[in-house]
Amino acid sequence: DAGITQSPRHKVTETGTPVTLRCHQTENHRYMYWYRQDPGHGLRLIHYSYGVKDTDKGEVSDGYSVSRSKTEDFLLTLESATSSQTSVYFCAISESKGRGTGELFFGEGSRLTVL
Amino acid sequence: GQQLNQSPQSMFIQEGEDVSMNCTSSSIFNTWLWYKQDPGEGPVLLIALYKAGELTSNGRLTAQFGITRKDSFLNISASIPSDVGIYFCAGRIQGAQKLVFGQGTRLTINP
């Protein structure tokens, strides 16, 4: 158990509505990540954080924003959900090793369906 | 973006058989990680590799960091039903911060 909790685990929403997914960690790790997983695409990085209030974009960041106001929480927001954002979202955490990220530990995922 | 080529994409084997899968790239990596994902769950870290040529085992699983630093291999010996799942490789390119993931190998075992 990597001490990561994602909520909600399942959500169905309608196009155009805002959605926020929450990731909570109890490990006090510096780095937190949001990935999406889709068939044929594997895991793709949306945004990541390297400290409180320090975030950066990943490879598929359009349509998403994030916030990290305290070490243990990393929020992913879809301001206006679209059907293309139907996916399974995974939060991950890591503690840096050397100059970069060490091993990533994943949460159990949040399945989002946008109708 | 940068991707790893993971193969095979799927495998159908008999229980008790050995399994091999690999990831390759045109870039040089300084970290290789292997994950397993069960249905409805998040990926779980199996093995981490940090040095070229490194060979590491975790029970029946053995992974190697390729000597060229552009590939990695995962072997599973004497497969059992609970080995079913999707296996992902992930690597960190030398000089880069973030990990890149392979697209996964789906393993199915016939009892």
pLDDT tens digit sequence for A38-65: 987 889 999 999 899 999 999 899 999 9
Structure tokens at B31: 């970290």
Q: Which residues of B touch A41 (CB under 8 A)?
A: 103
Mean pLDDT estimate for chain B: 92
User: In this predicted structure, what is the pLDDT of residue B94?
Assistant: 79
CA distance B12 to B26: 28
Average pLDDT over residues A31-35: 94
Which of the residues B28, B30, B99 would you substitute to probe the A interface, choosing the one with the greatest number of A C-beta atoms within 10 Å? B99
Computed from CA positions of residues B54, B44, A42, B9, in that sequence, does the dihedral angle turn out positive or negative? positive
**Banded pLDDT at A1 (limits 50, 70, 90):** low
Half-sphere exposure (CA, 13 Å, Cβ side) for A115? 4
**Candidates B43, B44, B92; nearest CB to A100:** B92
Helix (H, G, I), strand (E, B) or coil at A93: strand
Q: How many CB pairs under 8 A join A and B?
A: 49
**Candidates B1, B31, B104; nearest CB to A59:** B1
CA distance A40 to A77: 24
Which backbone phi and psi does B110 adopt, to 5 degrees?
A: -90, 125
Q: Which residues of A touch B45 (CB under 8 A)?
A: 103-105
